[in-house]
Structure 1
Amino acid sequence: MSVDSINYSRSSALTNENALPSAAVDLSELGVMENNFISLMVAQIQNQDPTNPVDSSQFLQQYASMSQVKSMENMATLQQSSLVLADNLQTLTAAGLVGQEVSVNVESLELNDQPVNGQFTLDNYSGKTSLLLTDSNGTETVIQLGEQAAGKVAYTVDPVALGLKPGQYSIQAFNADDQRLTVEVNGLVKDVRVSNTGPVLNIAGAGSVPFYNIVEFGQRS
């Protein structure tokens, strides 16, 4: 190999060496980059000027950085695999709930001619509790539940008895201080739909509800 060729190779190698730390790293091509780096290091060592050898600590630092990025890539891959596994388990769990009764947090009801049961929780005694139903036209129906002790308060919405037409109704629960409470509905899971955000359950009385809104499932006493 001629002196000019050696100098050119060394100059080219040093240019690439200086570019490596500042170049954007594509994790999907990290394996190729690692192989290229090793080939570059071997070529530079073979073609270095004996009177002015290359500082090997620079190679070690760059290789250590590349190994660190490789470890990060492996961690990202493992994390992605864990997320896929968790999503699959969630879908299987949701599918297993078809035909079972569950309790879900809701802000609306889907009423037909069947009563809908549910509950809400009081942190303290309340001398007055109520439910407020609002239809799509803004018509409000108040269901008075009277005084209630702290704990779970069960309720029933009977559309026939209340003279409510089938349709979608928003539902809110209030205590004596007009504090809004989280409302739960108990309903049978009719089917499960898989979406990009996770399983969505079709629940009698509640309609389409995301899986993460479930607060209780299993056989009731």
Structure 2
Amino acid sequence: MATVSNNSQSNPAYSIDEAVKQAVNVSDATQLENNFLTLMVAQIQNQDPTKPVDSTEFLNQFAAMSQVKSLENMASLSKSNLVLLDNLQTLTAAGLVGQEVKVATEQLELGADKVKGEINLEHAAGKLALVVTDSNGVKKEIDLGSQAPGRVPFELDPNALGLAPGSYKVEVKSDSGEYPKVEVAGRVTQVRVSAEGPVLEVIGVGSVPFYNITEFGQTQTAGLL
């Protein structure tokens, strides 16, 4: 094995192979840079005097190493920012417990209570209907009549509509060809932390990801049914 010595009795022999192994340890950018500098000095001291290594090559290598360090620092900073953002999001979601929110959803969890919500139309509809489908595929179409562009509030009364408690799929049917989203208002009863972020339990909707919330606070929705 080749060894490198600086011709000084105070410093022990240094293994080039050992320096190379340490230099490729990218887990610590600062240590990586220090090891690289040590390796570069060792190469300069032991180069063939008749065929010296071009100094620009060392500079290019050092520049590349500095870039690696900068990229690792940026990655570490980005990770810290993501953790901070996730914590802030969780705290915000926890503060919504007991409050009413409005969420964009395609699912409903119907019980005995009425469910309020609204549909945001971009175009006028001569015939607008809310279609509710149960777990067996049975559909219930609720006619909302002719509607102008804008917010169309609705209220579902499961008892009046003959809808048994359970999970339902909800969608909007419009003769304009538009497929607007359904937004449902409900009270938050619980917040659960998951790998994808906070998940809220909303009455009338069920489990809802935090990013599906479209509005905070109490909402006033007039009943049409």
Q: TM-score, normalized by length of structure 2?
A: 0.84
2:152 equivalent in structure 1? 153
Q: Distance in 1 between matches of 2:142 and 2:64?
A: 66
| Mapping 1:1-221, distance limit 5 Å | 27-220=26-219
Aligned pair in 2 of structure 1 residues 5, 127: CA closer, same or farther (>3 Å)? closer
Aligned pair in 2 of structure 1 residues 43, 129: CA closer, same or farther (>3 Å)? same
Q: Please give the secondary structure, in 2, of the residue aligned with 1:109.
A: strand
- Cα deviation for residue 173 of structure 1 reads 1.1
Percent identity between the aligned chains?
A: 56
| Deviation by residue 1:187-214 (Cα, 9 ceiling, x = unmatched) | 0001100000000000000000000101
Q: Please give the secondary structure, in 2, of the residue aligned with 1:28.
A: coil
- Cα deviation for residue 26 of structure 1 reads 5.4
Q: Which amino acid letter does the alignment assign opposite residue 119 of structure 2?
A: F
Q: Distance in 1 between matches of 2:147 and 2:155?
A: 15
Q: Distance in 2 between matches of 1:137 and 1:44?
A: 75
Q: Please give the secondary structure, in 2, of the residue aligned with 1:177.
A: coil
- Cα deviation for residue 60 of structure 1 reads 1.1
Structure 1 runs not aligned, ≥5 long:
7-11
- Cα deviation for residue 48 of structure 1 reads 3.5
Q: Which amino acid letter does the alignment assign opposite residue 173 of structure 1?
A: V
Q: Please give the secondary structure, in 2, of the residue aligned with 1:33.
A: helix
Q: Which amino acid letter does the alignment assign opposite residue 117 of structure 2?
A: G
Equivalent residues, number? 209
Q: Which amino acid letter does the alignment assign opposite residue 111 of structure 2?
A: N
| Deviation by residue 1:113-164 (Cα, 9 ceiling, x = unmatched) | 0000000111122121111111111111111111111100001110011111
Which is richer in helix?
1
Q: Please give the secondary structure, in 2, of the residue aligned with 1:113.
A: coil
* 8 A Cα contact 2:123 2:176, kept in partner: no
Aligned pair in 2 of structure 1 residues 124, 177: CA closer, same or farther (>3 Å)? closer
Q: Distance in 2 between matches of 1:215 and 1:26?
A: 46
* 8 A Cα contact 2:104 2:214, kept in partner: yes
Aligned pair in 2 of structure 1 residues 143, 73: CA closer, same or farther (>3 Å)? same
Q: Please give the secondary structure, in 2, of the residue aligned with 1:61.
A: helix
Q: Distance in 2 between matches of 1:5 and 1:147?
A: 88
* 8 A Cα contact 2:47 2:53, kept in partner: yes
Q: TM-score, normalized by length of structure 1?
A: 0.85
Q: Distance in 1 between matches of 2:208 and 2:183?
A: 12
Structure 2 runs not aligned, ≥5 long:
5-14, 221-225
1:9 equivalent in structure 2? none
| Deviation by residue 1:76-112 (Cα, 9 ceiling, x = unmatched) | 1111111111111111111111111111011111000
- Cα deviation for residue 50 of structure 1 reads 4.0
